[in-house]
Chains A and B, each alone.
Chain A
Amino acid sequence: MATVQVVRSEWTKIRSVASTVWTLSLAVVVTIALGMLISALARSEFDRMSTQDRITFDPTFISFAGMSLGQLAMIVFGVLVVSNEYSTGMIRTSLAAVPQRGTFLFAKLAVATVLGLVVSMATSFAAFFLGQAMLGEHRASLGDDGVLRAVIGGGLYMTLIAVFSMGVATMLRSPMLSLGILVPFFFLISSILGYVDATKDVVRFLPDHAGSRIMQVVPPVGDDTPYGPWGGLGIMVLWVLAALVGGYVLLKRRDA
Chain B
Amino acid sequence: MIELEGLTKRYGEKTAVDHLTFTVRPGIVTGFLGPNGAGKSTTMRMILGLDRPTAGDVRIDGRHYDELKDPLTSIGALLEAKGAHPGRSARNHLLCLAQSNGIPDRRVREVLDTVGLTAVARKKAKGFSLGMGQRLGIAAALLGDPRILLFDEPVNGLDPEGILWVRTLMKSLAAEGRTVFVSSHLMSEMALTADHLVVIGQGRLLADTSMADFIARNSRSYVRIRSPQRERLLDVLHQAGITAVESGDGTLEVDGDKAEHIGELAARHQLVLHELSPQQASLEEAFMQLTAESVEYHAHSGTPVSPQQWGDDWKKG
Chain A interface (Cβ within 8 Å of chain B)?
Answer: 1-2, 5-6, 8-10, 12-13, 16-19, 84-85, 88-90, 92-100, 255-256
Contacts and interface: CB of A to CB of B under 8 A. Distances in A.
B97 A9 contact: yes
B127 interface: no
B71 interface: yes
Interface in B149-206: none
Contacts of B96: 9-10, 12-13, 16
Nearest to B83: A93
Contacts, number: 87
B130 to A, nearest CB: 14
B23 to A, nearest CB: 21
A88 B86 contact: yes
Contact of B81 (A8, A9, A84, A92): A92
Given A17-B85, A88-B86, A96 B77 contact: yes
Interface of B: 45, 48-52, 65-66, 68-72, 77, 79, 81-89, 92, 95-97, 99-102, 140
Closest 5 CB pairs of A and B: A9-B100, A93-B83, A16-B92, A99-B66, A9-B99
24 contacts: A1-B69, A1-B70, A2-B102, A5-B100, A5-B102, A6-B100, A8-B99, A9-B96, A9-B97, A17-B88, A84-B85, A88-B82, A89-B83, A89-B84, A90-B83, A92-B81, A92-B83, A95-B49, A96-B71, A96-B72, A99-B66, A99-B71, A255-B50, A255-B51
Contact of A97 (B71, B82, B92): B71
Contacts of A96: 48-50, 71-72, 77, 79
Chain B interface main SS type = loop
Contact of B99 (A5, A17, A93): A5
A233 B45 CA distance: 42
Given A5-B99, A255-B45, A16 B88 contact: yes
A89 B45 CA distance: 13
Given A96-B71, A255-B50, 12 more contacts: A5-B101, A9-B96, A12-B96, A13-B92, A13-B96, A16-B92, A16-B96, A17-B87, A95-B50, A97-B72, A97-B100, A255-B51
Interface of A is mostly: helix
B40 to A, nearest CB: 15
A62 B83 CA distance: 46
Contacts of B101: 5, 97
B85 to A, nearest CB: 5
A13 B85 CA distance: 9
Contacts of A85: 85
Nearest to A84: B85
Contacts of B102: 2, 5
A92 B77 CA distance: 10
B84 to A, nearest CB: 6
Nearest to A101: B66
A233 to B, nearest CB: 33
A84 B84 CA distance: 10
Contacts of B65: 99
A16 B123 CA distance: 12
B21 to A, nearest CB: 21
A88 B79 CA distance: 13
Nearest to A90: B85
B141 to A, nearest CB: 10
Contacts of B84: 88-90, 93
A95 B140 CA distance: 13
Nearest to A100: B66
Contact of A92 (B79, B95, B99, B100): B79
Contacts of B66: 99-100
B63 to A, nearest CB: 11
